[in-house]
Amino acid sequence: MNIRIAKFISNAGYCSRRQAEQLIVKNKVYINDEICRHPSQKVTDYDIVRVNDEILKMIKEIKLWKKYKPVRYISSTKDKLKRKKIYDLLPKGMPKVSSIGRLDYMSEGLILFTNKGEYSRYLELPSSNIERTYRVCVEGNVKQTYIQKINKGISIKKINYNKVKLNIEKVDGKSIWLMFRLREGKNREIRNICSFFSWKIIKLIRIGYGPYKLGRLKIGEIKQIKVKNND
């Protein structure tokens, strides 16, 4: 093995590769008792990597958990506004994990956790072309012409959104349930699209991330699942 130190730290499950690079800049990372000076520095199986007095080891077995994120929780380890975090909901005894695919504060549903940062990175990269599925309850004038525009790809405030698979799932009085399937996953993509067409979002639930499904998971519940090889 001969890999970059930031990737090693991520694969050890300590933090994301980006966070690892920040630790290196702050001189928090040691290789064989010497300060690591650059994220591009490489290590082998024989090197001893230490971060904040903790010796790191590569994780060989990928472990994966799925959780039903409640609303009013942020998908982050820190928050300046001191809001509740999804990591606060993890049971005691779990290894260090990274979340896969963020959900914003008022969104709910499927969020994945893994002990291996590189697997998280793979599932999140646009080049991996992984489909995310959302059920969205809205109020407003949902025309088929609007849906056709969205499915072809639209530009909103100079931001281009690629093709989205959108269809009406059901109509329940004033409420309309939409099914969004997208692969790009730009920041607040669904909320920006709905706002553009003056659709008021009542509920936004992620029900699928690649081959992984929310299923019958209850709000706040977490369950370890098998890693699938056909992502």
Catalytic residues: 104
Token pair 């890999």 is at which residue? 3
CA nearest to 210, candidates 19, 11, 64, 62: 64
Token pair 């553009």 is at which residue? 196
Which residues sit opposite 98 in a β-bridge? 114
Tokens of 158: 């100079």
Which helix (H) or strand (E) is 22 found in, with range? helix 17-25
Residues 41, 45, 50, 54: is their CA dihedral positive or negative? positive
Residue 204 half-sphere exposure toward CB, CA atoms < 13 A = 20
DSSP string, 137-176: EEES---HHHHHHHHH-EEETTEEE---EEEEEEEETTEE
SS3 128: helix
